[in-house]
C-alpha cells in the first residue's frame, strides 16, 4: 500500500471508531465503545505507517540525490 492509502484508511478507521464510541456511549453499550476505541487506535497506527513510509521515501531520495 502507498503511504497515501495508509493515511486515508487510517482516517476512515478513526472516524468509524469515533462514531462507534459515541453510539456506544449514547446507548450504554460498553462493548461498542470498546470496539470504537480499538478501531480508532487501528486508524492511528495506519496513519503512522503512512507517515513512516513518507519519511523513508524522503530519506532514500535524500541519500540517493533523487529529489
Range of the domain at 8: 3-64
Torsion angle of alpha carbons 11, 52, 67, 60, nearest 10°?
Answer: -150
**pLDDT of residue 67 exceeding 70:** no
Q: Structural domain tally of the chain?
A: 1
Measured between alpha carbons, how far is 14 from 29 in angstroms, rounded to an integer? Answer: 19
List, for residues 2-60, the tens digit of each pLDDT value.
Answer: 899 999 999 999 999 999 999 999 999 999 999 999 999 999 999 999 999 999 888 88
Helical H segments across the chain, by residue range: 3-27, 30-64
Instruction: Give residue 38's pLDDT.
Output: 98
Tell me which residue has cell 478507521. 13
Amino acid at each position: 500500500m502507498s503511504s497515501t492509502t495508509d493515511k486515508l484508511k487510517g482516517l476512515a478507521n478513526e472516524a468509524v471508531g469515533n462514531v462507534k464510541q459515541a453510539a456506544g456511549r449514547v446507548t450504554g453499550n460498553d462493548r461498542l465503545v470498546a470496539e470504537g476505541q480499538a478501531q480508532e487506535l487501528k486508524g492511528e497506527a495506519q496513519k503512522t505507517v503512512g507517515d513512516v513510509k513518507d519519511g523513508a521515501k524522503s530519506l532514500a531520495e535524500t541519500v540517493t540525490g533523487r529529489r
